[in-house]
Amino acid sequence: MQAVDIEKENKEIVSRYRKLLKYAKPILKDDDAKIIRKAFNMSLLAHKDMRRKSGEPYIYHPLAVAQIAVEEIGLGTTSIVAALLHDVVEDTHIELQDIEREFGTKVAKIIDGLTKISGVFDHGSSQQAENFRKMILTLSDDVRVILIKLADRLHNMRTLGSMPREKQLKISSETIYLYAPLAHRLGLYAIKTEMEDLYLKYTNTEIYKDIADKIKQTKAARNKFIKDFITPIYKALEKLGVEFKIKGRPKSIFSIFNKMKKQNIPFEEVYDLFAIRIIIDAEDLESEKALCWKVYSVVTDFYKPNPDRLRDWVSTPKGNGYESLHTTVMSKLGQWVEVQIRTTRMDEIAEKGYAAHWKYKEAGKEAKELPTETGLEMWIRKVRDLIEHNDSSAIEFLDDFRTNLFNEEVFVFTPKGQLKILPFGATALDFAFEIHSKVGSQCLGAKVNQKLVPLSYILNNGDQVEILTSSKQKPNEDWLKFVVSSKARSKIKEALKEQKKLVASDGKEIVVRKLSQMKLELTNEVINQLLLYFNKKTPLQLFYEVAKGLIDARDIKKFRDEKEVKKPLDKRDLIDLPRVPTEIRKTIANTDMLVIGDNLDKIDYKLAKCCNPIPGDDVFGFVTINEGIKIHRTACPNAVELMSNYGYRVIKAKWTAQQELAFLAGVSIIGLDRVGMANDITKVISSEYKVNMRSITIDTNDGMFEGKIMLFVQDTKHLDKLIMKLGKVTDIISVNRIDNQ
């Protein structure tokens, strides 16, 4: 064990504390420095015997969170105090009352919002989802809870290297599932980008390193290109007498990876690897828009713009407050380049999001500027509305909330010309609920630009929408298939639940009547037994299906005739592994690692069909309710959601060294259609690599062909060699593994 140099650590703690004060100095008032000192001392004392997984003193973490809050988000004294104390209630002897007594109600409320929930949860829920919900609920009271939580999560991601592998996967998945979209929605682009890159670093390390290395290798050529590109713009703007800065910004590793995956292209073919950002100083708000367009005119004097790639978020800012003018122009070397034009104010809002927006909003009050409600405030108002009218489960709530996080927007108008901002893909029915929940519930159809359209009509930018209603209309289950906004979804679910409750009350009477014939009362224990017997999640669902005749009332008697009456779940089962077989639960408790391929008589595990893992893939085991353990690739499309909401049901897994097993994998091939191509492909597969094929399909179109081959391989090395060999066949353009078969 390495000896700890206490003196050196103490010096480092003091150094980090001074750095925090240095960055906070411009915003400190009156006794703020004393309050921060008091919070620091309390945190230092509370965490004095605690260390992080890396071996460092625990106090480094709250100091780092406070540093991110002030330096990278731009928060003030209350947030610094809350950040320094954010873990004390959860991890130490200090209680919330102590915080309130020493630092007041505001700080105590923020820390309460940051403290995880403990206790027993509803059947079918998850502790992680409940904690997410608690945190999101505080958004309606104090957005600082979310901002500090983002700072906390960012520091955890930056120090993830010292955590065990399964923790890295769980924390990374939660981050990409909720925290990165939240940072994006609150306008914190720098934090969102770093979170995404770190997610990729820990879930797909090889790809992350490969892209990072290639960005590094192309740096010199890229810098020369940027210099040549901006020189004429630089000179022209100087002549105009405009105060400005020009930056060349490389695209994030995660966004490059996404583009490669989405377009199925190698790194070398990603044309927009970077963007040029022109930041201009404007004298006042009135001149900003005109100045941005003036700079746009200068840029397009030298380079031809792509008319389909102009994005004007200066005239109509994004819902999270983002303002900028984006255009893509053709350089002299025949390469497309994205140019972003914005003012200093816009740039600060783009980098620091909500906190910067609030700073300018407060300044605007004094100068009688920015009087209208911004997109960000409208979104927070919508979140409040969603929270107030939502009684669904934590996982459902989270799902509804997430639908509104990453969506782009569509801008439409009411008949009187009022602008409404909705999520991209919104329908006429979403618009109706945006006007009012009663209008939505009674919506029959709509007129878009004076033409009649159905409820499912997808709105386009600039549409003018008039809603047609009828008092006889009411929501139905099909409506959920074509609404995208969380407000519409929650209102429809609410109405359906009310309708269901009316039907279910009849079902409840039938159940009570049948039970009384059996000399039984409808107690909680009996309800739990009925739910288990009929495999239903809630009493409402059970009563509803009885009323509708989907469950035969005569079958209610049968549950008592079973030789062994099923006992209701024990409370620990509700928290941990609902209805998971005992032998699997014991295995999780007694083993650190599931070895796939070992002779495990008692453990039922299957390879997940959603990602078809093969030996060599990075995998994890997931405990299902009815199908034992399923093995998923860490790159599986479903991995993020499984690990985010059910991290406690994830088991570490690895492949055994045995080679005699064959696993099904899929390969897609694109190439030029020619005589003998199919023969050349099958020759490589069957003759050279002695691989058994299960199926091959080839479609040809205008001299090109696209093929899909399902074959049996031993492991990833075997598959990679085969893909490389197929890629060398004449006239084949690309060969890729298929993730979903």
Residues noted as catalytic: 90-91
Q: What angle do CA 621, 624, 626 make, to 5 degrees?
A: 140
Joined tokens for residue 517? 């014939």
Q: Phi then psi for 412, rounded to 5 degrees?
A: -130, 170
Give the whole-angstrom CA distance, residue 356 versus residue 70: 11
Q: Which residues pair with 606 in a beta bridge?
A: 630
Give the whole-angstrom CA distance, residue 267 versus residue 595: 35
Are 501 and 472 in contact, with CB atoms under 8 Å apart?
A: no
Joined tokens for residue 582? 């005992």
Smallest Cα–Cα separation from 126: which of 562, 571, 576? 576
- The residues, any chain, with a CB within 8 Å of residue 309's CB and separated by 6 or more, are 326, 327, 328, 338
Strands (E), 170-297: 244-250, 274-280
Cβ-count burial of 343 within 10 angstroms (0-12 exposed, 13-18 middle, 19+ buried)? buried
Q: Indicate the Cα dihedral angle 57, 60, 65, 71, nearest 10°.
A: 180
DSSP 553: T
Are 648 and 638 in contact, with CB atoms under 8 Å apart?
A: no
Give the whole-angstrom CA distance, residue 101 versus residue 43: 15
Joined tokens for residue 341? 């034009």
Give the whole-angstrom CA distance, residue 692 versus residue 686: 7
Joined tokens for residue 157? 């991601």
Are 738 and 666 in contact, with CB atoms under 8 Å apart?
A: yes
Smallest Cα–Cα separation from 402: which of 144, 711, 232, 641? 641
Place of tokens 């004094």: 366
Q: What is the largest CA-CA distance in the chain?
A: 94
**Count of CB atoms situated within 10 Å of the CB of 498:** 11
Give the whole-angstrom CA distance, residue 440 versus residue 483: 11
Smallest Cα–Cα separation from 631: which of 641, 619, 649? 619
DSSP 94: -
Give the whole-angstrom CA distance, residue 179 versus residue 192: 8
Give the whole-angstrom CA distance, residue 53 versus residue 163: 6
Smallest Cα–Cα separation from 487: which of 414, 436, 446? 436
Q: Taking the CA of residue 29 as centre, how many other CA atoms within 13 Å lie in the half-sphere pointing to its CB? A: 3
**Count of CB atoms situated within 10 Å of the CB of 30:** 8
Joined tokens for residue 415? 């008949």
Task: Tell me the CA end-to-end span of the chain in Å, nearest whole number.
Answer: 49
Distance (Å) of CA 396 to CA 133, 400, 424: 10, 6, 21
Cβ-count burial of 140 within 10 angstroms (0-12 exposed, 13-18 middle, 19+ buried)? middle
| Secondary structure (3-state) at 499 | helix
| Secondary structure (3-state) at 283 | coil
Give the whole-angstrom CA distance, residue 714 versus residue 717: 8
Q: What angle do CA 46, 47, 48 make, to 5 degrees?
A: 95
- The residues, any chain, with a CB within 8 Å of residue 361's CB and separated by 6 or more, are 370, 374
